Amino acid sequence: MSRNVGIVIVSHSTDVARGTADMVRQMVGSEVPLAFCGGDPGGGLGTNVEAIMRAIDAAWSEKGVAILVDLGGAETNSEMAIELQPPERQGKIVVCNAPIVEGAVMAATEASGGATLQEVKRTAEELSPT
């Protein structure tokens, strides 16, 4: 189990999700648990609650998981996936209001230094226009 916050990337496109994850991996190596998913249950563009739940499992850390999303459905489906998690995980998974690529890189960089989930989220969200 990692001592760092995990990062999950949820895009409508598998290519965007994988590409973002590649960039994160290059920045922070294997210091941070990382998972990504993209595409709808039929393999087209979209997002998928089951895939998001699997990604959360893959990136799970006792310090929590920060999710980066692209467009509306990715956020709604991520929130649904969080609600379907077991009680002991509730409160330990957040969706960051940040641009997906820059947010994922910033969040992972912060997480790699051992930051808390709240610190990771705050750093990612510094990128958002207020």
Residues in touch with other proteins (CB under 8 A): 12, 40-42, 44-50, 71-73, 76-77, 79-80, 84
* Nearest partner of 44 among 23, 15, 67, 71, judged by Cα: 15
Q: Which of 12, 63, 92, 121 is catalytic?
A: 12
Shortest CB 73 distance to other proteins, Å: 4
> What gap in Å lies between CA 49 and CA 26, rounded to an integer?
27
Cα angle 130, 101, 123 (rounded to 5 degrees) comes to: 50
Smallest gap from Cβ 82 to other proteins, in A, equals: 11
10 given a catalytic annotation = no
Residue 10 — φ and ψ, nearest 5°? -125, 110
Report in angstroms how near the CB of residue 46 gets to other proteins at its nearest.
Answer: 4
Q: Please list the active-site residues.
A: 12
